[in-house]
Copies of this chain bind each other. A is one copy, B any other.
């Protein structure tokens, strides 16, 4: 951390605080204090908090999505899709789980035109596109529909874990399985 640049420290503090405490809840003062950077320096690096919000999400989004993906050793499309939900189940069991960071960003900002809302939308679409490609390989009747359905299960399951502050107990895997069966992905 000592050798990280002020820019990297700000992005890391932002990603952490925005996820744990929320974007609106995190003021610039607190952000700079946690990053160990002056407000003057912050505003030299990021013209507004909104820009920092978008850049912090853009910086962490790829790793977030990647953390759910199976490795190449798993080749069966059905198993590759279910892997995502098995990781979600494990992730949702952590006490610090606060939901999907992309959904949270869109919801917290309440502004679809915000630059970070566009970034969030892009990362959610990446997951849906990944589901669609796997569904196509797996012979789904309607791969794009199945992909949207699986994304709904992903986000609805995450919401449930937040609302009940409890693990999912297999619910997301069971629901995804029912939709894979219905779409003919065996």
Residues of A within 8 A of B (CB): 20-22, 24-25, 98-100, 102-104, 106-108, 110, 112, 117, 120-121, 124, 145, 148-149, 151-157, 159-160, 162-165, 171-172, 174-175, 178-179, 181-182
Option from B21, B149, B153, B163 in Cβ contact (under 8 Å) with A121: B163
Q: Which residues of B contact A106 (CB under 8 A)?
A: 162-163
Q: Report whether over half of chain A's contact residues are helix, strand or loop; otherwise say mixed.
A: helix
- Residues on the B chain within 8 Å of A108, using CB: 22, 107-108
B162 engages A175 (CB within 8 Å):
no
Assess the A159–B162 pair: CB atoms within 8 A: no
Within the assembled complex, what's the spacing in Å between the Cα atoms of A72 and B163?
29
Given known A148-B171, A171-B149, A171-B152, contact A20–B178 (CB-CB < 8 A): no
Contacts of A110 in B (CB 8 A): 20-22, 25, 98
Q: Which residue of B lies closest to A163 (CB)?
A: B106
In the bound complex, residues from chain B placing their C-beta under 8 Å from that of A178 are 149, 178-179, 182
State which of B121, B151, B174 has its C-beta within 8 Å of the C-beta of A145.
Answer: B174
Give which listed residue, B20, B112, B156, B181, contacts A165 with CB less than 8 A: B112
Considering only CB atoms, which chain B residue lies closest to A108 in the complex? Answer: B22
